[in-house]
């Protein structure tokens, strides 16, 4: 089997222990991954802390940091086929998606490379005539970046890119479910020429995560994952008072009005819930459709779902591959069973094929008679769509906001005034109008409520890895008149 290593303080090394990683398409082990102990994590954080102050990193200009990121972007683009193949093998994500996504990841590093020397301070028009005051933006310090297995190279880029552009150092923890592409990515970091300790990449279970987030030298924790794990992270970071940015899950509404371009909306809904086998935090998992077009919309959607090509994730013709783990499939099957018991009706799918691997078909549940079914309220992280109908705009808004999550949403309508009303009314960090699942390094990404806080992407993310320093310069040559009076 293939073997992978951690990358700590500029060196590749085996973990204190190891574990087998399963190929989701076959359910069989294919590689041995290193497992970081608390001691391994501590060494990585201390290496990052030393590197943060070392001349070969702290002494670089912002422009020089940007050039390193440009080099990393080029290496990612060159290695995209290899990285895509590894991500497909280790996570089951289809090759047509990993190939396209990883090629685009290079653009994220290029965006932050160009932004590195554009993170500016400010001069303040202070109210004291004998003072000059300005603000400096400085890096916060050591960043703990924790990413899940799905879209891991993308989710790493939106943390590493801005953190490195700002001048921070990073300990990146890959998910123990499918860490191969990030451990391979470490070789590109090494080739790019970053000083030892600037970027450290490891993987491991709960012990590694807890040690990392609670470490006294960590200044910022950037996490993508589920709300329950986020709660543990917030508790663990209480001791070191680390800043946190949390990009969590969602139960995103996909709203279709009667005047929508139905063909376009159907295609967007298919992409929004069945792409990536539904294993996406922004999956449009709640279809809210106007009652007058409900039946026609569901009929088209059912036909599309039944025609989806399910198969080996390394086949470019495959449209839906396996789920990442058997545990995930079993959870989805359990929630579907509970939802059917609660009154939901199965439109299509719902049963795993009798084959090896962790496959599950595109599934649609009509929840008209079961608006509180578990499939409506719980994030399933799989290719399962729950459908509700509405009659009025106000009802659509109420249904859209009837969730503790607030990450993404989609609205399909030709009525521009209505679109603007929906933009204002929907409580979500992202609102897509007549499109869905579009991203860019230029646009911030994130939510609120159980979907977390903070933003990834855009200038806002880079600023999030900085802290403000106020500098006061007294310009008068006169003696300070009274040392007991605040100036």
Q: What 3-state class would DSSP assign to 10?
A: coil
Of 214, 213, 211, 238, residue with least CA distance to 225:
213
Whether residue 281 lies in the annotated active site: yes
Interstrand relation of 253-256 and 384-390 (parallel, antiparallel or unpaired):
unpaired
Q: Under a CB-based contact definition with an 8 Å cutoff, are residues 305 and 365 in contact?
A: no
Beta strands in 74-198 (DSSP E): 122-124, 131-139, 142-146, 169-174
CA distance 126 to 485: 18
Which residues, 6 or more positions from 420, have their beta carbon under 8 angstroms from its beta carbon?
Answer: none
Task: Enter the DSSP assignment of 445.
Answer: B
CA-based radius of gyration for the chain: 24
Element containing residue 107 per DSSP (H, E): helix 95-115
CA distance 422 to 288: 13
- Which one of the listed residues 184, 247, 319, 379 is annotated catalytic? 247
Q: What 3-state class would DSSP assign to 274?
A: helix
- Which one of the listed residues 168, 281, 367, 375 is annotated catalytic? 281
> What would the 3-class secondary structure string for 271-301 be?
HHHHHHHHCCCCCCCEEEEEHHHHHHHHHHH
Q: Which residues are catalytic?
A: 247, 281
């Amino acid at each position: 089997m293939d073997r992978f290593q951690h990358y700590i303080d500029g060196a590749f090394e085996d973990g204190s222990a190891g574990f087998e990683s399963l190929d989701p398409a076959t359910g069989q082990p294919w590689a041995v991954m290193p497992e970081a102990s608390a001691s391994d994590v501590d060494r990585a954080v201390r290496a990052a802390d030393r590197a943060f102050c070392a001349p070969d990193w702290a002494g670089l200009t912002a422009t020089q940091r940007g050039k390193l990121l440009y080099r990393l972007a080029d290496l990612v683009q060159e290695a995209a086929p290899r990285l895509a193949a590894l991500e497909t093998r280790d996570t089951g994500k289809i090759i047509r998606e990993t190939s396209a996504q990883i090629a685009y990841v290079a653009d994220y590093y290029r965006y932050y490379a160009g932004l590195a020397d554009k993170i500016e301070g400010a001069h303040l028009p202070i109210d004291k005539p004998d003072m000059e005051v300005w603000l400096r933006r400085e890096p916060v310090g050591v960043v703990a970046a924790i990413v899940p297995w799905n879209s891991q190279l993308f989710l790493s880029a939106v943390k590493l890119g801005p953190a490195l552009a700002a001048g921070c150092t990073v300990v990146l923890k890959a998910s123990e479910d499918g860490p191969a592409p990030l451990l391979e990515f470490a070789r590109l970091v090494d080739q790019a020429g970053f000083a030892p300790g600037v970027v450290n990449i490891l993987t491991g279970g709960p012990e590694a995560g807890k040690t990392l987030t609670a470490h006294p030298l960590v200044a910022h924790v950037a996490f993508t994952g589920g709300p329950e794990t986020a709660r543990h992270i917030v508790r663990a970071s209480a001791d070191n008072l680390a800043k946190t940015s949390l990009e969590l899950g969602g139960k995103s509404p996909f709203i279709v009005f009667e005047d929508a371009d139905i063909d376009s909306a159907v295609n967007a809904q298919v992409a929004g819930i069945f792409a990536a086998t539904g294993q996406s935090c922004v999956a449009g998992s709640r279809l809210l459709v106007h009652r007058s077009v409900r039946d026609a919309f569901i009929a088209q959607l059912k036909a599309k779902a039944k025609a989806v090509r399910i198969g080996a994730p390394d086949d470019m013709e495959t449209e839906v591959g396996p789920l990442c783990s058997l545990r995930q499939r079993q959870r989805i099957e359990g929630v579907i069973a509970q939802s059917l018991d609660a009154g939901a009706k199965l439109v299509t799918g719902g049963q795993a094929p009798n084959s090896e691997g962790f496959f599950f078909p595109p599934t649609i549940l009509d929840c008209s008679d079961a608006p509180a079914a578990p499939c409506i309220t719980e994030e399933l992280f799989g290719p399962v769509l729950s459908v509700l109908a509405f009659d009025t705009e106000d009802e659509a808004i109420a249904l859209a906001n009837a969730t503790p999550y607030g990450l993404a949403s989609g609205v399909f309508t030709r009525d521009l005034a209505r679109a603007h009303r929906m933009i204002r009314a929907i409580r979500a960090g992202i609102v897509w109008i007549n499109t869905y699942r579009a991203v860019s390094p230029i646009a911030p990404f994130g939510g609120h409520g159980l979907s977390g806080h903070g933003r990834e992407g855009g200038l806002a993310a880079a600023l999030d890895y900085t802290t403000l320093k106020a500098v006061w310069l007294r310009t008068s040559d006169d003696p300070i008149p009274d040392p007991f009076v605040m100036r």
